[in-house]
Amino acid sequence: MSAPLLPPELLRRLEQFQLLAARRAKSTARGERRSAARGQSVEFADHRNYVAGDDFRYLDWNLYGRLDKFFLKLYEEERELPVRIFLDASESMAFGEPRKFDFARQVAAAVGYVALCGFDRVSVVPFPDNRDEAAVRGALRAVRGRKSTLQYFKNLTALTASGTASFNEAMRRGALEARQTGIAVVLSDFLDPAGYEAGLTALVGRGFQVNAVQILAPDELAPGAYGDLRLIDSETGGVQEVTFGKYRLAAYQQMVQNYCQRLREFSQSRGIHFFMVSSATNLEELLLKQLRQAAMWG
């Protein structure tokens, strides 16, 4: 029997959190989030003049007693917040020890759990497409209610990492498919040769509040192999033979740092919350401290 994605004691601590949205929910479905819509709830919002046909139950009799005029009380409608999780399931995510994909699924499980406990709607969008997992992926497209968490975790566990992905195309398609915008969480290594700029820009342009989590393996951040190496691209199958010594190692590490810094700066310039973590990062440190300090949830 496989180990659970998240230990029970961590789940209990995550139950105390709620995803923080900079903008009010615009979904048409009832939920627990304050919205700009007016409806029936306990949160008073405003008054408006009474017109024929309005429900007498919402008349403000205290105001009538003072002004001798009918006013209707308006209340904030509570709506759900759509939470869309883009999960990189390409072959490159199967690399590392611990595997990047295993860590990404754990983060997806935590984000989804917090959202479901807050009565928000969760959609997981793994990319690239995998026809063998069509049923599982379809079930992850619309998950609601805390009672759905066990099946949600089960479906996440059933996902595998394989194939070649186009990051930009996956983000553009996901942005266009969304009926309502809300929070988007992107879990990826962001190592697509075509870049990431167009995809992230598409999400921001569509109106999503974007959180980008870059996950790299320890060996990608600080390789431990030296000498004459034969490198194979896990997605394309391309082969390259290199001699890897001390000086090349230093140059490689600087290149990785520069790449991550450019991604960070690009994200910050577009209002995207960016996090870079190793797949060996302590999960509780990331979930309970780093993401909370960055106001992703609280």
Contacts 24+ apart (CB under 8 A), 285-291: 286/107, 287/10, 287/14, 287/107, 287/110, 288/10, 288/13
Confidence (pLDDT) at 85:
98
Per-residue pLDDT, 35: 38
Tell me the pairing of strands 82-88 and 183-188: parallel
Handedness of CA 274, 192, 163, 205 (dihedral sign): positive
Measured between alpha carbons, how far is residue 157 from residues 4, 104, 266 in Å?
9, 11, 32
* Ranges of each domain in the chain: 8-24+88-293, 30-79
Q: What integer pLDDT is reported at residue 165 of this predicted model?
A: 93
Interatomic CA distance for residues 119 and 134, integer angstroms: 26
Do the Cβ atoms of 82 and 121 come closer than 8 Å?
Answer: yes
Q: Which strand (E) or helix (H) includes residue 42?
A: strand 30-49
Q: What is the fold of 8-24+88-293? A: Rossmann fold (3.40.50)
Contact between residue 29 and residue 79 where contact means Cβ atoms under 8 Å apart: yes
At residue 227, the pLDDT reads 56
Question: What was the pLDDT predicted at 265?
Answer: 98
Q: Tens digit of pLDDT per residue, the chain (298 long)?
A: 467 899 999 999 999 888 887 654 444 444 443 334 344 444 555 666 777 777 777 788 888 788 888 887 765 555 678 999 999 999 999 999 999 999 999 999 999 999 998 889 999 999 999 999 999 999 999 999 889 999 999 999 999 999 999 999 999 999 999 988 999 999 999 999 999 999 999 999 999 999 999 999 999 898 866 555 555 665 666 666 666 667 777 888 898 999 999 999 999 999 999 999 999 999 999 999 999 888 888 7
Q: In this structure, how many other beta carbons lie within 10 angstroms of the beta carbon of residue 145?
A: 13
Report d(CA 191, CA 167) in Å as an integer: 9
CA atoms within 13 A of residue 199's CA, in its CB half-sphere: 26
Q: What is the pLDDT of residue 236?
A: 66
Backbone dihedral region for residue 207 (phi beyond 0: left; psi -120 to 50: alpha; all else: beta): left
d(CA 87, CA 125): 6
